[in-house]
Amino acid sequence: GKVKIYKTVKAQELWDSICEAAWRSAEPGLHFLERSNKRSNTWYFEKLICTNPCGEQPLGAWSVCNLGSMNLVSYVTNGGEFDYQSLASDARVAMRFMDNVVDANFYFYEENLEAQKNIRRTGLGTMGLGDALIKMKVKYGTSQSLEIIDKIYKTIRDNAYDESANIALEKGPFPKFDRDKFLEGHFIKRLPKAIKEKIAKNGIRNGVLLTQAPT
């Protein structure tokens, strides 16, 4: 159809008002909702309409998410080495814990309960990344730091997804799970092959697993 122009605004003015609003609310975020909807694990059944108050978790109507942060400082040994093995096993424990929270939680509204039981959304993330790097004597932003950061988050991602697929075998996948569509998800396609195969076989317990809160 024909595009109807209501008003033209200068890009600089728009940018300034975005920056002003971010400063005023102490929320340094700019959220592209259309991109979130395209890339979400729940793209095939849920329309994301907003985020939670801190902006880290895009949510559909009535959707909720329980968040958990792993303290990365506690994985740095006294010798300044990062213990990836402990992080891997703890990420698995955290996924089971947070999946149990979905059922243990109290929901004020029936709509929240229904939305969460359908998706079983969790948000496993981290805190203390800066402190962990200081403890390792690694400067943030260097190529060495990027390698470490990459390995940390791949460790969390792979173990969380793998464990959620294990839980699905025991307790069943989240009710809105559709194997073919879920595996077409933007981030799911980037998972290691073995994990994708496990999800195809078992399903997955949680529709959304990870989030990075501003901790």
Q: Which two tokens stand for residue 197?
A: 């195969």
27 classed as catalytic? no
46 classed as catalytic? no
**Residue 199, Cβ density class (10 Å: 0-12 exposed, 13-18 middle, ≥19 buried):** buried
How far is it, in rounded angstroms, from Cα 113 to Cα 24? 34
Q: Which of 27, 37, 52, 71 is catalytic?
A: 52
Q: Which of 41, 46, 56, 66 is catalytic?
A: 56
The sign one gets for the Cα dihedral 194, 196, 201, 202 is: positive
Q: Which of 19, 20, 54, 105 is catalytic?
A: 54
**Residue 112, Cβ density class (10 Å: 0-12 exposed, 13-18 middle, ≥19 buried):** middle
56 classed as catalytic? yes
Residue positions annotated with a catalytic role: 52, 54, 56
